[in-house]
Each structure stands twice: as structure tokens, then as C-alpha cells.
């Protein structure tokens, strides 16, 4: 079942990479006491994700922080090494936290996984954006297959 507005996010371990190597963080810690914008996408280095989705959040990060967002999280079903490399390629610096959901555990737990096996990508995340306040979903915009209309940074900014 897909997570809904008002639901608490499940407690799942995800990963990210720092200068000290791959780190594991639980979503309880990731979201505790913070207003977080999470946007998820099918894959790092893919066309729409690289040309529009991630860059929009990088460019608008200061505006999001000015609206009370404490953290911006990009989540994809890739490993932490790929997410870190993609972040470097996209110049995210410290504006967006690049989170790896390598086994799609989080994506499955919130009911937002999609099977892209026919295209050789396996299980991936649907494209969406959510606003999470202290672990509780306040806004959830899930894109229709093949679309990029409601999970972009501008739409989220306008909803804050």
C-alpha cells in the first residue's frame, strides 16, 4: 500500500557516501525533528533526472531553505558510490543529500517502487516528491508514469 499524507515514514536503513566511505543512516534519524523535502527518481545519470529533476533542487535549494526546509534529500535505487558520483557531477555540494536506496527497501516500504525490468533497470523508485515533517508525510506528489509535472522543485516551493 502506498504511503499517504499523515503517515509516519517507516524505519529503514539507507546509505550515503562521505570522505570517510559509505555511511548507513536510519530514516528515523534522517527525518527526526526536521522538515525535509525528499524527491525520488528512477535512476542516477538518467535523462530527466539529470537534466531537470536534480538540477531544479540544486538551483532552488536556497529558496527551499528560506521557506523552512532543513534538509533536501535525493533518493534513488542506486548504490551510495553512484549517488555520490552523480552528486559530484551535478555540483550538489552540501545542498542536497544523495541517499542510496540500493535494494529498494525504502521504496518498497512506502509502496512507491516500480518494476522497470523490461527496460533492464530492475526494481526502481517511482518519480515523486514529498515534504516530511519530523518523520510524518505532509505532502506527497507522485508522478504518473513517464511524466515530470508535480515533483519538481518549483511545485514543491509553491506548496510550502
Q: Where are the domains of the chain?
A: 13-159
pLDDT at 47: 84
Q: Distance between CA 2 and CA 19 in Å, rounded? A: 35
Topology of domain 13-159, CATH:
Glutaredoxin (3.40.30)
pLDDT at 68: 98
Active site residues: 49
Q: Which residues of the chain have pLDDT under 70?
A: none
Q: Distance between CA 113 and CA 160 in Å, rounded? A: 26
Question: Taking a C-beta distance cutoff of 8 angstroms, is the pair 119, 37 a contact?
Answer: no
Question: Taking a C-beta distance cutoff of 8 angstroms, is the pair 76, 151 a contact?
Answer: no
pLDDT at 55: 95
Amino acid at each position: 500500500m502506498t504511503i499517504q499524507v499523515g503517515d509516519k515514514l517507516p524505519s529503514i536503513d539507507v546509505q550515503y557516501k562521505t570522505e570517510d566511505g559509505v555511511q548507513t543512516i536510519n530514516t528515523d534519524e534522517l527525518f527526526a525533528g526536521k522538515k525535509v523535502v525528499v524527491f525520488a527518481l528512477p535512476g542516477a545519470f538518467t535523462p530527466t533526472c539529470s537534466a531537470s529533476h536534480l538540477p531544479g533542487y540544486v538551483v532552488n535549494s536556497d529558496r527551499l531553505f528560506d521557506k523552512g526546509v532543513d534538509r533536501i534529500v535525493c533518493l534513488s535505487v542506486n548504490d551510495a558510490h553512484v549517488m555520490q558520483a552523480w552528486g559530484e557531477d551535478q555540483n550538489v555540494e552540501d545542498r542536497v543529500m544523495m541517499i542510496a536506496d540500493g535494494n529498494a527497501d525504502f521504496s518498497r516500504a512506502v509502496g512507491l517502487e516500480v518494476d522497470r525490468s523490461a527496460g533492464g533497470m530492475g526494481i526502481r523508485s517511482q518519480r515523486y516528491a514529498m515534504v516530511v515533517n519530523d518523520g510524518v508525510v505532509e505532502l506527497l506528489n507522485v508522478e504518473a508514469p513517464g511524466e515530470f509535472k508535480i515533483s519538481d522543485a518549483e511545485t514543491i516551493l509553491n506548496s510550502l
